[in-house]
Amino acid sequence: MESIVYFATARATRWDYQYSLAARLERMLERLDLGSRIEKSEYVAIKTHFGSDGAHRVVRPLFLRKVADAVKAVGGKPFVCDTVRINGWDYLEVANQNGINPQSVGCPVILADGLFGCDSIEVPAGPILGSVRVASAIYDAPAMIVVSHCKGHIEAGYGGAIKNLAMGGVAGRHRSGDWRQARGHLHAAGPESTLERYPELCIMCLQCLHVCPTGAISEVDGTLATDDEKCWRCGRCERVCPEGAIRLQKRGQDEFHAGLAEAAQAVLSTFRPGKVVFLNFALEVQPECDCMPMADTPLVQDQGIFGGDDIVAVEQATLDAINRALPLPQSAAADRGIRPGQRVLAETLGIDGQLHVDAAAALGMGRREYRLVEV
């Protein structure tokens, strides 16, 4: 059986508001029948990504406002949220710089795991992770709309709704300061994972120092050192090092992608059936995650918005559209010589995001078979 995935194309071929992407999103929200999912005065989490200092290709406040207005129209009480990725106060300021604030989106904007990233509830996961700590405001919310900017990702290959929940629905920190009780649990190979440095390879470009979200890397006597207590094991330093001089002991790809699906399933397990819908924005599809301190040019032209209540079907439809799109000139895809007909994300990044979509389907989170319904 196929799942319905609503699709709003990014193409606007007439000078009429009804052909705009904003109007198409309004129609998609109507088709999703939020009134049957949200009870009067019920709190509704709108989970998105606030971006980073230097990364600006997040879902625009205009679209978040449309979602919040649709929730209010059926009597719900929306709040836009993300979880701590840098210090909480600074992260809220990043959101504000990217235009995400109560005035622009028409509802509160909060950190779901609290200002210090420690407010969370432990929830059972699968055999790989054992458990995850779900951000408390997401855990306690009766309903949720997952609004994801779809793009490449440092380790997942593709960052959509599954990544949004698996990494963004769990706490950034644990009150004890132990990274193994927070998001780093997903990246690292095990409880004793460390960062390994190879000083003989280091050219002191300082990219790892500048990309570190916790200030764990410092320059000492002309060399770089890592404070193990501050390190979240996020892997950004390894990603940006041009010489392979720093490496995180990480999970293997198959295990990591299965862990992503486990974590997303654990977050969704805190909601009753039918209380969560997914909106995937395949716009400005850059090769890096929005947590990196930059935003490269898009790999493909804007595709549009995909929506539904089956996370696997929505992800599959989005990934299919991106991978079969024409690679854009002056992009990382062009740099790597990606040709029409090749899977753009997988071939550009060398990591296949299909792995965690397949893992989610194997866990019974949804169906890969879908039918697109254009709005």
Residues 229 and 362 in one domain: no
Return the minimum-mean-pLDDT range out of 20-34, 116-130, 274-288.
116-130
Q: At which residue do the structure tokens 């410092």 appear? A: 218
Query: Could you give the CA distance from residue 158 to residue 152 in angstroms, rounded to a whole number?
Result: 4
Query: Could you give the CA distance from residue 22 to residue 34 in angstroms, rounded to a whole number?
Result: 17
Q: What is the pLDDT of residue 177?
A: 54
What is the per-residue pLDDT across 243-271, written as a single tens digit (0 to 9) for each? 888 877 666 788 889 999 999 999 999 99
CA angle 327, 166, 96 (to 5 degrees): 75
What is the per-residue pLDDT across 134-156, written as a single tens digit (0 to 9) for each? 999 999 999 999 999 999 988 88
Residues 6+ apart with CB under 8 A from 181: 133, 174
- The SS3 assignment for 121 reads strand
Residues 286 and 235 in one domain: no
What is the per-residue pLDDT across 216-237, written as a single tens digit (0 to 9) for each? 888 888 788 888 777 777 777 8
- Tell me which of 248, 267, 292 is where a domain ends: 248
Residues 226 and 280 in one domain: no
Assess whether pLDDT exceeds 70 at residue 187: no
0.75 exceeded by pTM: yes
Task: Please say whether the beta carbons of 275 and 144 come within 8 A.
Answer: yes
What is the per-residue pLDDT across 43-99, written as a single tens digit (0 to 9) for each? 999 999 999 988 999 999 999 999 999 999 999 999 999 999 888 999 999 999 999
Assess whether pLDDT exceeds 50 at residue 179: no
- The SS3 assignment for 41 reads coil
Residues 243 and 95 in one domain: no
What is the per-residue pLDDT across 19-52, written as a single tens digit (0 to 9) for each? 999 999 999 999 999 999 999 999 999 999 999 9
Residues 244 and 263 in one domain: no
Query: Could you give the CA distance from residue 37 to residue 271 in angstroms, rounded to a whole number?
Result: 11
Does residue 165 sit within a domain? Answer: yes
Instruction: Give the total number of structural domains in the chain.
Output: 2
Residues 76 and 130 in one domain: yes
Q: What is the pLDDT of residue 231?
A: 78
**Radius of gyration of the chain, Cα coordinates, nearest whole angstrom:** 20
Does residue 54 sit within a domain? Answer: yes
Q: Which domain holds residue 215?
A: 194-248
Query: Could you give the CA distance from residue 248 to residue 197 in angstroms, rounded to a whole number?
Result: 9
Average pLDDT over residues 166-178: 75
Q: What is the pLDDT of residue 174?
A: 60
Query: Could you give the CA distance from residue 100 to residue 59 in angstroms, rounded to a whole number?
Result: 9
- Tell me which of 210, 225, 248 is where a domain ends: 248
Task: Please say whether the beta carbons of 370 and 310 come within 8 A.
Answer: yes
What is the per-residue pLDDT across 300-338, written as a single tens digit (0 to 9) for each? 999 999 999 999 999 999 999 999 999 999 999 999 999
Assess whether pLDDT exceeds 60 at residue 178: no
CATH of the domain at 203: 3.30.70.20
Return the minimum-mean-pLDDT range out of 85-99, 190-204, 345-359.
190-204
Considering the chain, what percentage of its residues have pLDDT values greater than 70?
Answer: 94
Tokens of 201: 């390879």
Q: How many CB atoms lie within 10 A of CB 26?
A: 19
Residues 7 and 80 in one domain: yes
Q: What are phi and psi of 62, to 5 degrees?
A: -55, -45
Residues 202 and 169 in one domain: no
Residues 168 and 201 in one domain: no
How many residues are recorded in the chain?
375
Burial of 220 by CB count in 10 Å (0-12 exposed, 13-18 middle, 19+ buried)?
A: exposed
The CA–CA distances, whole Å, from 26 to 6, 170, 274, 330, 346 equal 12, 29, 20, 33, 32
Orientation of helix 161-168 relative to helix 253-268, angle to 10°: 80
Assess whether pLDDT exceeds 60 at residue 180: no
Q: What is the pLDDT of residue 267?
A: 97
Task: Please say whether the beta carbons of 349 and 300 come within 8 A.
Answer: no
Residues 205 and 160 in one domain: no
Residues 11 and 134 in one domain: yes
Does residue 202 sit within a domain? Answer: yes
Tokens of 243: 């010489």
Does residue 183 sit within a domain? Answer: no
CATH of the domain at 346: 3.40.50
Q: At which residue do the structure tokens 């990544």 appear? A: 163
- Tell me which of 215, 232, 248 is where a domain ends: 248
Assess whether pLDDT exceeds 60 at residue 193: yes
User: Mean pLDDT, the chain, as a whole number?
Assistant: 91
Considering the chain, what percentage of its residues have pLDDT values greater than 90?
Answer: 70
